[in-house]
Amino acid sequence: MVRLRMKSFGRLHRPFFRICAMDARSPRDGKAIEELGHYDPMVRNLEARAVLNANRLRYWLSVGAQPSDKVASILKRHGIFKPLPGESWELPTPVNPPAVATPEPTPKQA
């Protein structure tokens, strides 16, 4: 079974974690199938604590990977959920609207 869990990095009193797809039988800091993001609990900005690859996380959730408790709470906080049956795991890419050209002001003649 594949689990979405965190690998421990960092040093004493300065934790850092990588969020990975790993075989459930592998050790905590063992070889990962794929690295999907990272989590730094020491960052003050709450939105910047986790950097996640949402498309790949949704893919692994769609094929049956089980997140650990901590990873599940991080995914919930960032709004990443398992896709519904029949729904694509890929998130739509935002399309930038075409820029509207504004006419340059004509110089005033005196």
- pLDDT tens-digit series, residues 7-55: 999 999 999 999 999 999 999 888 999 999 999 999 999 888 999 999 9
- In this model, does residue 96 exceed pLDDT 70? no
Q: Burial level of 106, CB count in 10 A (0-12/13-18/19+)?
A: exposed
Please give the share of the chain, as a percent, with pLDDT higher than 70.
88
Whether residue 34 is contained in a domain is answered as: yes
Whether residue 100 is contained in a domain is answered as: no
What are 17's two structure tokens?
């974690």
Whether residue 107 is contained in a domain is answered as: no
- Concatenated DSSP letters for 7-34? EEEEETTEEEEEEEEEETTS-TTS--SE
Helix (H), strand (E) at residue 75:
helix 69-77
* pLDDT at residue 69, rounded to an integer: 95
- State how many domains the chain has: 1
- Dist. CA 91–CA 3, nearest whole Å: 22
Give the global pTM.
0.77
> Residue 99 — pLDDT band, cuts 50, 70, 90?
low
Whether residue 102 is contained in a domain is answered as: no
> What is the amino acid identity at position 7?
K
Find the angle CA(57)-CA(90)-CA(27) to the nearest 5 degrees: 15
- In this model, does residue 97 exceed pLDDT 70? no
Range of the domain at 50: 2-77
